[in-house]
Amino acid sequence: MDITKDKLLEKLEFFSNFKFNKNYNDLTKEEKFVAITDSIMALTSKDWTDQLGKKARQRKAYYFSAEFLIGRSLGNNLLNLGIYDLVNSILEEKGDRIKDIENEEEDAALGNGGLGRLAACFLESAASQGFNLDGYGIRYSEGLFKQFFKDGFQAEEGDDWSSFYNPWSKRIVSDEKIIKFKNQTVKACPYDMPIFGYKNGQINRLRLWQAEAVNEFDFNRFNNFDYDGAVREKNEAEDLTRVLYPNDERREGKLLRIKQQYFFVSASLQDIVSNYKKNFDDKEFKHFHEYVSIQLNDTHPVIGIPELIRILLDEEKISFEDSFNIARKIFNFTNHTILREAMEVWSVDLIDETSPRVLEIIQMIEQRLVEELYNKGFKEEEINFLRIVKDDSIHMANLAIFVSNKVNGVAELHTNILKNETLKDWYGAYPYKFTNKTNGVTQRRWLIYSNMELSDFIDRKLGSNEWREDFSKIKELEKFAEDEPSIREFLEIRKKKKIELTEIIKETTGIDVDPNSIFDVQVKRLHEYKRQLLNALHIVYLYHRLKEDKNFISEKRTFIFGAKAAPAYFRAKAVIKFINEIARVINNDKDIDGKIKVVFLENFRVSLGEKIYPACDFSEQISTAGKEASGTGNMKFMMNGAITIGTYDGANVEIFEKAGEENNIRFGKTVEELMEIKPNYDPYKIYQEDIYIKNALDSLMSGEFKDNESYMFLDIYNSLLKSEGGDRADRYFVLEDFESYRKAQEKISEVYKDEMRFGKMCLLNIANSAYFSSDRTIREYAEEIWKLESHN
Ligand SMILES: *Cc1c(COP(=O)(O)O)cnc(C)c1O
């Protein structure tokens, strides 16, 4: 790929004329973004086409995921194509700033959190390392939702991210597929996005399916004044891919979810099968598994297993036996949760209403499972426990584990809990299937692109930029841990990123924060197990202490939050209101001299994360031990030099191990300790015995913080102190870990005070972050599961 300044200039002018009937200089910023993107797409399209042809007969792996949390693409694509600086200088000559143009791009927020972002990091890392990994998913027209705050409460609106233009994707009408549900038939139309490898010429593909009506418009109905009826089929079809995770409190919502899943895996498998037939003369599909490996990202795409068998059996006339054996070689399953109750279960009638034939095939698979376990010598009740079909419900994780070639957890601790607790019966039956693949994040987006200043510093220190491709070289940074001038230079860069975030905070919230204060950050989805509430209650505690004595802490603190709550998750929304209330009260209280400030940024998303992760001093990873499968936010913070204040959970365990506990702050009970405490746990006792904890909790009820009569704070208060409906009081051990957390928080001030010590700790975190590159994760998948060769 040879993209020169002249070619770029020529294309920029061309697309300005072609798309907007204007000269480049007369375009709006938004139009400039489109013209630049179109130019890049045009200049790379020949290579992309060539690669599609070349790869048609090569082995490939496919990542099936209901979520791809891509965020913006412009900056990252320019970086990977090696033309970021070139485009930057062209734009400067034209009087534009590249960052302003980048900010015009809407995030493609086709995901919820870590699981979706992992899928996006994986595609990038695979392309950068020359592996043929393509993605298949859904093109939601409204994504998840956009979050904003109204009187401190979360409110949601649709996210029509692609309504202006979505120049990164190509609609390939000729590859449309037909999807047949029991009572509906729709078209699946593919939109293809290029995934550019880092300076290696590799272009992989992310294919996202959009649902469309077979007949968009009924002329006769319209002519007979039935205007709604005339477009009913169109609306019903398009509803299938409108939003991610439609509300499933009612049956209609559940049916929509399972139909979405079936829709995208059916289209993807039809695509893979038809490409195979086009490229190979193998009517019996004897060699299919030599070319195809599929990774199922959580249970959402698991219905693909019976669907592939259906396609092979019914359409390609392969026997059930052979179809089943092919599926067993091709599919692999990644589990992302520890809680059994969080694994998807669908009632038989919902699967039947989606596809009766798929239900029959699931029952045939179930029969195979029972036979196989019987032959292994399992007893009836043991077999019953592992059944796929139980009490008129389909257990998707059981289906996935039984048929998959490999099953993996996403961090050491998580995989061990799966083997020994959650899935121990499965592990007993099929130990060889289980493997660990600790998650990772791509350093190109999360360090090189998000923190260019730090990356230049690393280049200078290491005397080379090889670490950008071979991230194991980052270890050499360790040499500078004791070097005062280097640490000073490093701290200056950290300061600059904090000032940049300060400006964003001012712009979006109006709050003034001091960039010299400690930036203590918790950004992630809002969930009880992630314990934003522990953080919030500690802030209230600190505030109470400061009211008594404004010199209670020496270092100023800024607490920064970002989190979306699922729209139907009342308690998570209550915590958002609580934090916003804490922020309102504290930020306006003159008594405490601005010693602490609290900021909750709206609509946390990838593009905001790119500005937050590099500006953080202390990364809050405070989930209840045993609940966070891995976490990936923790890794992004680490790569940018933040110190983790965290529990012994998920990948934190491995972060502490690689970077050393002395360079991070660990607190809280371990999984084993919590298991022991659990039977006799009495949070009320802790509440009564510790006056500060009592005061912090009472602030929920005393009127110190106000929930506008929503009863949200009562709900939080009760959740901590009362057992309700079979749930223990304080299920997530907030009060149990409070004391330990308070001490950990004190350590933060102590560490920050000593600049050289702080800088050294930060630097050592970066130097030891190589393991958390998704390049390493992808190499492990490629070598051990997918059996892919690198084309680099
Ligand atoms: C990385 C990331 C997450 C995952 O964060 P965790 O702290 O691992 O839960 C969620 N949302 C966005 C936008 C991210 O970039």
Residue 780 burial (CB count, 10 A)? 17
Active site residue 55: no
Q: Please work out whether the CB of residue 631 comes within 6 Å of at least one atom of ligand 1.
A: yes
Active site residue 278: no
Active site residue 97: no
609 Cα to the center of ligand 1, angstroms: 8
On the question of pLDDT at 340 being above 80, the answer is no
Q: What is the mean pLDDT of residues 46-57?
A: 96
The CA distance from 681 to 249, in Å, is 31
Residue 604 alpha carbon, nearest atom of ligand 1 = 13
Q: Please work out whether the CB of residue 607 comes within 6 Å of at least one atom of ligand 1.
A: no
Q: What is the mean pLDDT of the chain?
A: 97
The pick from 67, 144, 525, 649 for probing ligand 1's pocket by mutation, whose C-beta has the most ligand atoms within 8 angstroms, reads 525
401 Cα to the center of ligand 1, angstroms: 26
Q: Please work out whether the CB of residue 524 comes within 6 Å of at least one atom of ligand 1.
A: yes
Q: What is the mean pLDDT of residues 463-479?
A: 96
The pick from 628, 632, 638, 644 for probing ligand 1's pocket by mutation, whose C-beta has the most ligand atoms within 8 angstroms, reads 632
Query: Using CA positions, which residue lies closest to atom 8 of ligand 1?
Result: 631
Q: What is the mean pLDDT of residues 657-669?
A: 97
Question: Residue 176 is encoded by which pair of tokens?
Answer: 């449309």
Q: What is the mean pLDDT of residues 248-265?
A: 95
On the question of pLDDT at 592 being above 90, the answer is yes
Question: Residue 559 is encoded by which pair of tokens?
Answer: 């607490």
The CA distance from 653 to 439, in Å, is 13
113 Cα to the center of ligand 1, angstroms: 5
DSSP state at residue 340: G
Q: Please work out whether the CB of residue 116 comes within 6 Å of at least one atom of ligand 1.
A: no
On the question of pLDDT at 194 being above 90, the answer is yes
Residue-wise pLDDT for 673-729, tens only, equals: 999 999 999 999 999 999 999 999 999 999 999 999 999 999 999 999 999 888 899
Question: Residue 562 is encoded by which pair of tokens?
Answer: 């970002």
- pLDDT bucket at 408, cuts 50 / 70 / 90: very high
Q: Please work out whether the CB of residue 448 comes within 6 Å of at least one atom of ligand 1.
A: no
Give how far Cα 460 sits from Cα of 39, 449, 475, Å: 33, 17, 14
Q: Please work out whether the CB of residue 632 comes within 6 Å of at least one atom of ligand 1.
A: yes
Q: Please work out whether the CB of residue 633 comes within 6 Å of at least one atom of ligand 1.
A: yes
Domain ranges of the chain: 1-55+82-103, 57-71+107-439, 443-772
Contact 563, 523 (CB under 8 A): yes
Q: Please work out whether the CB of residue 606 comes within 6 Å of at least one atom of ligand 1.
A: yes
The pick from 336, 522, 524 for probing ligand 1's pocket by mutation, whose C-beta has the most ligand atoms within 8 angstroms, reads 524
On the question of pLDDT at 562 being above 80, the answer is yes
Q: Please work out whether the CB of residue 114 comes within 6 Å of at least one atom of ligand 1.
A: yes
> Annotated catalytic residue: which of 11, 525, 527, 595?
525
Map tokens 């080379």 to a residue.
464
Distant-in-sequence, close-in-space partners of 48: CB < 8 Å, separation ≥ 6: 194, 203
Query: Using CA positions, which residue lies closest to atom 10 of ligand 1?
Result: 113
Question: What residues does 297 pair with on adjacent strands?
Answer: 334
Q: Please work out whether the CB of residue 627 comes within 6 Å of at least one atom of ligand 1.
A: no
Active site residue 791: no
Query: Using CA positions, which residue lies closest to atom 7 of ligand 1?
Result: 633
Q: Compute CA 123 distance to the chain's CA centroid, rounded to the nearest angstrom.
A: 13
Torsion of CA 712, 714, 720, 723, to 10 degrees: -110
> Annotated catalytic residue: which of 72, 636, 669, 779?
636
Residue-wise pLDDT for 148-176, tens only, equals: 999 999 999 999 998 777 899 999 999 99
199 burial class (0-12, 13-18, 19+ CB within 10 angstroms)? middle
- pLDDT bucket at 597, cuts 50 / 70 / 90: very high
> Annotated catalytic residue: which of 60, 117, 205, 336?
336
Q: Please work out whether the CB of residue 304 comes within 6 Å of at least one atom of ligand 1.
A: no
DSSP state at residue 442: -
With residues binned 3-state (H G I as helix, E B as strand, rest as coil), the percentages for the chain, rounded to 5, are 55, 15, 30
What percentage of the chain exceeds 70 in pLDDT? 100
Distant-in-sequence, close-in-space partners of 465: CB < 8 Å, separation ≥ 6: 459
Q: Are strands 170-171 and 185-196 parallel, antiparallel or unpaired?
A: antiparallel
Residue 632 alpha carbon, nearest atom of ligand 1 = 8
Rg (Cα) of the chain, in Å, rounded?
27
- pLDDT bucket at 255, cuts 50 / 70 / 90: very high
Give the H or E element holding residue 583: helix 570-587
Contact 293, 62 (CB under 8 A): yes
Residue-wise pLDDT for 1-31, tens only, equals: 789 999 999 999 999 999 999 999 999 999 9
Contact 791, 783 (CB under 8 A): no
Question: Residue 161 is encoded by which pair of tokens?
Answer: 């991210």
Q: Please work out whether the CB of residue 306 comes within 6 Å of at least one atom of ligand 1.
A: no
> Annotated catalytic residue: which of 445, 530, 538, 577?
530
The sign one gets for the Cα dihedral 228, 232, 234, 235 is positive
Contact 11, 90 (CB under 8 A): no
Question: Residue 460 is encoded by which pair of tokens?
Answer: 């200078």
Domain 57-71+107-439 belongs in CATH node 3.40.640.10: no
Q: What is the mean pLDDT of residues 390-398?
A: 96
What percentage of the chain exceeds 90 in pLDDT? 96
Question: What residues does 188 pair with on adjacent strands?
Answer: 177, 211
Active site residue 379: no
Question: How confident is the model at residue 339, as a pLDDT?
Answer: 78
Residue-wise pLDDT for 728-783, tens only, equals: 999 999 999 999 999 999 999 999 999 999 999 999 999 999 999 999 999 999 99
Domain 57-71+107-439 and domain 443-772, same fold? Reply is yes
The CA distance from 2 to 668, in Å, is 54
Q: What is the mean pLDDT of residues 605-632?
A: 98
Question: Residue 716 is encoded by which pair of tokens?
Answer: 């939080």
Query: Using CA positions, which residue lies closest to atom 15 of ligand 1?
Result: 606
Question: Residue 11 is encoded by which pair of tokens?
Answer: 């294309």
395 burial class (0-12, 13-18, 19+ CB within 10 angstroms)? buried
What region does 589 belong to: left with phi over 0, alpha with psi -120 to 50, or beta?
beta
> Quick one: 443-772 is in which CATH superfamily?
Glycogen Phosphorylase B; (3.40.50.2000)
The CA distance from 109 to 537, in Å, is 31
Map tokens 């891509």 to a residue.
70
Residue-wise pLDDT for 116-147, tens only, equals: 999 999 999 999 999 999 999 999 999 999 99
Which has the minimum average pLDDT: 501-515, 562-576, 718-732?
A: 718-732
Active site residue 525: yes
